[in-house]
């Protein structure tokens, strides 16, 4: 008698939504992401970190990646096998690659968003999105409460 070997499947959850490149679209991106992560029963620490990362990336897409009449795309991918959440925000301004800003004055009104992403994500970076856009992504590992060595990638757009 031959016994069947159990087959384990890797569950991958995906969510994607196109949103208007406005403050309202950025806020909706955060709200939709939190609803999806809650439905996926993510650990509270991961949800909290992801909320801030989504807010920053969506805000940057609406502010710096905005092209009149073009939307940005929020995509979430949950890989249970790797225990990793990937957050990706794509916009249509490929020429502006985000980077960690040089030293900022403590009272500066902007420029801290990517520092926050760098601190909260385990990895982050950018990829081109042909024909003229870019995707800024961040990954959060579920098994770690805090990132140990965040990666720094990207260029600068003046």
- CATH (domain of 136): 3.30.565.10
Q: Are 93 and 67 a contacting pair, CB within 8 Å?
A: yes
The residue with greater pLDDT, 129 or 108, is 129
The domain in which residue 33 lies consists of: 12-100+112-141
pLDDT exceeds 90 at position 58: yes
Q: Are 65 and 96 a contacting pair, CB within 8 Å?
A: yes
Residue 78 lies in a domain: yes
Of these ranges, 2-11, 36-45, 88-97, the one predicted with the greatest mean pLDDT is 36-45
pLDDT recorded at residue 28: 97
Residue 49 lies in a domain: yes
Distance CA 29, CA 104 (A): 27
Residue 21 lies in a domain: yes
pLDDT recorded at residue 110: 60
Overall average pLDDT of the 79-103 stretch: 81
Q: Are 98 and 117 a contacting pair, CB within 8 Å?
A: no
pTM of the model: 0.79
Residue 86 lies in a domain: yes
**32-38 long-range Cβ contacts below 8 angstroms, 24+ apart:** 32/74, 33/74, 33/76, 33/87, 36/76, 37/76, 37/85
> How confident is the prediction for the chain on average, in pLDDT?
81
pLDDT exceeds 80 at position 111: no
Overall average pLDDT of the 121-139 stretch: 92
Residue 133 lies in a domain: yes
Residue 128 lies in a domain: yes
Percentage of residues in the chain having pLDDT higher than 70: 72
Q: Residue 65 — pLDDT band, cuts 50, 70, 90?
A: confident
Residue 77 lies in a domain: yes
pLDDT recorded at residue 66: 73
Overall average pLDDT of the 3-32 stretch: 83
Overall average pLDDT of the 34-59 stretch: 95
How many domains, the chain? 1
Overall average pLDDT of the 17-40 stretch: 95
Residue 72 lies in a domain: yes
Q: Residue 19 — pLDDT band, cuts 50, 70, 90?
A: very high
Structure tokens at 95: 């020429």
């Amino acid at each position: 008698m031959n016994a069947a070997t159990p087959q384990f499947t890797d569950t991958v959850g995906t969510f994607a939504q196109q949103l208007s490149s406005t403050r309202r679209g950025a806020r909706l991106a955060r709200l939709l992401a939190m609803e999806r992560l809650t439905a996926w029963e993510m650990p509270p620490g991961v949800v909290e970190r992801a909320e801030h990362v989504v807010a920053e990336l969506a805000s940057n897409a609406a502010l710096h990646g905005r092209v009149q009449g073009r939307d940005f795309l929020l995509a979430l991918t949950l890989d249970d096998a790797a225990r990793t959440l990937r957050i990706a925000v794509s916009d249509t301004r490929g020429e502006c690659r985000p980077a960690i800003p040089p030293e900022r004055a403590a009272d500066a009104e902007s420029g801290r968003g990517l520092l926050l992403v760098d601190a909260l994500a385990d990895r982050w970076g950018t990829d081109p999105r042909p024909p003229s856009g870019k995707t800024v992504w961040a990954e959060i590992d579920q098994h770690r409460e805090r990132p140990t060595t965040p990666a720094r990638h990207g260029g600068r757009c003046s």
